[in-house]
Every structure is written in C-alpha cells, then in structure tokens.
Chain A
Amino acid sequence: MTQVLATPAELVPSSAPARRTARRKELLRWIAVHSLGVAAALFFVLPFVFVLLTSLMSDSQALSRDLIPGTWEWGNYRKVFDTPGFLTWWRNTLIYAGLGTALTVVSSVPVAYALAKFRFPGRNLALMLVISMMMLPPQVVVIPMYLFWAKQLGLSGTLWPLIIPMAFGDAFSIFLLRQFLMTIPNEYVDAARVDGCGELRTLVRVVLPMAKPGIAAVALFQFFNAWNDYFGPQIYASENPGAWTLSYGLESFKGAHHTDWNLTMAATVLVMAPVILVFFFAQKAFVEGVTLTGVKG
C-alpha cells in the first residue's frame, strides 16, 4: 500500500551536482505533496472537530459563534442518555444490526458459494438478477412491501419487516461474497470433492475458513447498513417511538431541543462513534471489501 510512484533509481543522474539538484527537487516534491495532504486532512477532520467542540458547549454558548467551549460541559452527554427513548433506540439499533447481520451472513454464504463454484444453466442470469437487486432502491417496491407487512401481517410499528427479509439473502452481500469466493482457487474445492466431501462439508470445512475476510467484510457492511438505515425505520417504525433506531431518532433531537445544537451534536457524536470504533477494530476487512466491489470478478 505504501508503494510510491517515484523516480526510478536508474534515472537519477550520477554526477554530484546533478544528484544534489535531483535531491532538492525530491524534497520540494515531498513538501508539496505533504502540504496538500495536510490541507486535505483538515477538510476531512475539521467537521468532526467542530461537532465535538460544539457538543461540549453550554446551552447559551452553543447559540453563539464561538468555536471553542468556554466551559467544558461533559454533562451534555449525560443529558443525551437521559433523553426519553435514547437507550431504547440504542437497543433497537443493536437488535436490528446484530440480528440482521447474522441472518444475512447465514443466508447469503450458500448462495454466493453456488454462484461462484457450481456450474449450472442460468448461473449468469442469476448473477445478473442479484446485481439488479443490489442496484434497486428500496423505494421502488416499498408500496407493496408496506401493504404486505403492515396490512396483511400487522407488523407495522416494529422492526421485523426490516429484519425478516435478511434471512433470505441480501443481494449486495451475495455479490461481494461471490467476488471473494471467485478468488479461491477451484483446486481446493475439487480436492475436497475428490476426497469424498459433500458440498455442504466442502463449504463448511474447506471454503469458509478461507473466506473469513470476505465474511468479515460482508458482516461489517451489513452492520453499518442497518445502523445507518433511515428509510426502513421511517416506513415501518415511525408510528411507534418504542421501535425507533438511533439513525431515525437522532433527527428528533433537533426538534425536541429546538436550537440546542450542543445536545444535538452530542447525540450525533454518539451515533457516529460506534461505527468509527468498529472500523478501527476491523479496518483491514472493511477496506478489502470496498476494493472487492470495484474489482472485476
């Protein structure tokens, strides 16, 4: 990853003054590149910093143009936790994200395995349908789905309409896992088959251990998707604040606290923080996943 597109060594002139100019040019380039890097870093980091600083301001100061808190009000975070519903939203989000992720992985792995390693008529068609489902925004089918969950099954006001479908494979996860499984050489699978392993045993004993990074990436993406989902809870849970998730409930802070940007920003930090913490623990798997989706299969 740290490989650099620098001047190849054989091009560096051999005479001493020429080498000095080359080295100076190299240094100037280093300075230019890293100044740009710092400028870009400021652009990416300053929004976090301002949000964090404002979340620690007093009520009156949050309404001013100050950038730095006069007194550091750590109690703001306590107030956020004391807001009615906040802990419930936290619990709901964990259920939605946790259960949803587990169901997605269990249901998507066999499908991805079949698409990557079985030969059968219609395989390309199936893959194209998976990609189409992946690109389909949830709003396209939401009217019949809402009527199905709410009117026929009476499940509106809960998160079940969002969790149950994950037991039936998630298109994005299937696609990403399939991309990953394609990178596992067929010889491993064939060897297991020759040794008399059934397909299920081949999958569990041979393929899954090798597919751990892919599964980790899928699990992370799915967890983040559920954590970030706004439209789903808006459709199915909005009528019942007891079923709201953090992403959906967060917005109500601005309403409940009117212009109290400090508490709203403290709540914002609390919604962002877990995702970023999870990322730090699983950075490699995540970045690998992002790359895989953009790489040819």
Chain B
Amino acid sequence: MGTLTLAAKRRRSALRTLAFLSPWLIGFAVFFAYPLISTVYFSFMHYDGFRPPIWSGGKNWTYVFTHYPLFWPALRNTLWLVVVMVTLRVAFGLGIGMLITKIKTGTGVFRTLFYLPYLAPPVAATMAFAFLLNPGTGPVNSLLEKAGIPAPGWFDDPDWSKPALTLLALWGIGDLMVIFMAALLDVPREQYEAAELDGASAWQRFRYVTLPNISPIVMFAVVTGVIQAMQCYTEPLVAGKVASGVIQGAGAQFEPGYPDKSTLTLPQLVYNLGFQRFDYGSACVVALVLFALSMAFTALLMRRRGGLIQAGD
C-alpha cells in the first residue's frame, strides 16, 4: 500500500465513486438529459412521427399559445387546483394530523383508517369516486337528496368537476397526515407548558407555538402540493373518461377535459397533442412549459435558506 502515491489514491477513489454512481449516471444521460434536449429540439420541428421532422421555427410555440384551444383552459384549471385544492389539502392534512395527536384511545386504529385511502391506486380511487358521486344512482347524491340538499352533478358538471377532484384529493390525505403528525410530535413540549403557564388560549398556543415550529413542514407541503397539482394526470383523465362514458380500447378517441374542458391539466395536453393529434412538435412545447413550471417550484424546495430539502451535509 505504501507504494501508492497520493495522485494514484485520488484516481482510485474517483473511479470508485464513478462505479457506484454509474447506474444513475447512465440513467441520467439516457432518460433525462438526452430526452430533455431532444424535447427542446422537437419543439422547433414539424413532426408527425411518419414523415421526417422539418424545421418550423417558432410555429409550434405560437400555435400552442394562440390557437390550441385546450392550452389556456388547462392552465386556468391548474391555477384553480393550485389555489383551492392545495390550500384545502394542507389545511385538512394539518387538521387531521392535529386530531390524531390528540386522540388517546384507539390511536392506532384511527391512524390506519385515516391513512388507508392514500394507498388506494389512483385509477381505482377515481373509479370509486365516479361511482359514489354519479348523479343518477350514486350513494352520495341519494343521501343528499334524502336530506333535502340539492345534489350537484359532480364529474358531469363543469362547475363541480374540480370540487369533485378536490374531494378525492382530500380523501387521500394520508401522506400529509403522517408528515404533519411527525412534525407536531417534534414540537418541544416545554413550549406548550410555558405558553399554558402564561395563560395562552388554545388558539394562541396554535398560532405562537405550533405554527412557528412546523412552518418548514407546512412550506414543504405547499410546494410539493403545487408540484402535484400541476402534474395531476390520472385522476382528471379517468374521471372524465368514466363520466363521459367513453369506452376504452384500441382507437378510442377521448378528447380530454370532460365536461367542457373543466378537468384539463397540462400533462393531458402532452398526450392529446402527441398521441391523439400526432403533433409531436407542439406536444414538446407543452412538455417544456410543464418542465419550466415544475423546476421553478422544485428550486423553491431546494433553496438553501428555506431548508426544505437540504442538499448540504
């Protein structure tokens, strides 16, 4: 060993690092860097997958932003989901997390029951909600009508389809519940005791002890929630398909967004443009918009001072 020079040692350690990282380095190059560059390239090409791609300048970009009828509705829906769904999910997740820390009897059972819906596969959960909320014979509307409450059309009504998706998202709150629960149990108890000695009310204890302590986790939940809302795909697509009654199979063409574009999200546009309209170039434009938005919010997550996900050691 004594014969190894410092440079040789360094080289060996660099090779070792490369060897351990190699699966990911290949994956990064082949499944991330290459397709990303390729997406940028195709966004300036006219390409239908049959004839060779031809340079088309900014035509795909102007088409998507000015003529493609689904782009702006999808962006508006995304904004709605970001504002309403994310807010409600964080508030509800925090509420359920606090509830579970206060429950003293049967905690394990409650925790499991609250967590279970998060595990339901998205397609199955959406099918279940499409049934539960179907305006004709669904149990929810049956119960609402029995109670004399006007029953909405849920997935069949453009005004109610996003609230229905929100309800589905609130049902699957388990992930946030667990994260908030862990954060709440980490709040130093002495701080509550001190606040109580000072005569702080329950609200004041929440506002001045709980919230400051868990604010990084709230931020984490908000930012990841925004990213999830932008990338929402399976639930709105399946809900629209099932509610509209389109039969799946080879060649079935379903214009996403049923009813009346109200469930469109950006990822669905990539599918619509690329695999239904065979306009790969414009699909890549939408893909890049989605990429830019996702990365902007991911950068928020990694901000050094925010400390949500810290890269350093």
Contact = CB atoms under 8 A, between A and B. Distances in A.
Interface of A: 1-8, 11, 30, 33-34, 36-37, 40-41, 43-45, 47-48, 50-51, 54, 62-65, 67, 107-108, 110-111, 113-115, 118, 120, 124, 126-133, 135-137, 139-148, 151, 165, 167-169, 174, 182, 199, 224, 227-228, 230-231, 234-235, 238-239, 241, 246-248, 250-252, 254-256, 261, 264-265, 268, 271-272, 275-276, 279, 283, 287, 290-291, 293-297
A139 B268 CA distance: 8
B132 interface: yes
| Dominant SS among interface residues on chain A | helix
Given A107-B23, A247-B124, 10 more contacts: A64-B137, A111-B24, A113-B20, A126-B21, A126-B24, A143-B270, A165-B27, A230-B233, A252-B247, A255-B252
Interface residues of B, number: 118
A132 B33 CA distance: 12
Contact of B267 (A111, A139, A174): A139
Contacts of A276: 116, 119-120
Contact of A110 (B20, B110, B120, B178): B20
| Dominant SS among interface residues on chain B | helix
A137 to B, nearest CB: 4
A231 B26 CA distance: 23
A78 B251 CA distance: 29
A227 B178 CA distance: 22
Interface string B161-175: 000000000010011
Contacts, number: 310
**Top 8 nearest A-B pairs by Cβ distance?**
A168-B27, A255-B247, A141-B35, A144-B38, A169-B24, A114-B20, A294-B179, A144-B35
Contact of A272 (B30, B99, B124): B124
B16 to A, nearest CB: 6
A294 B287 CA distance: 27
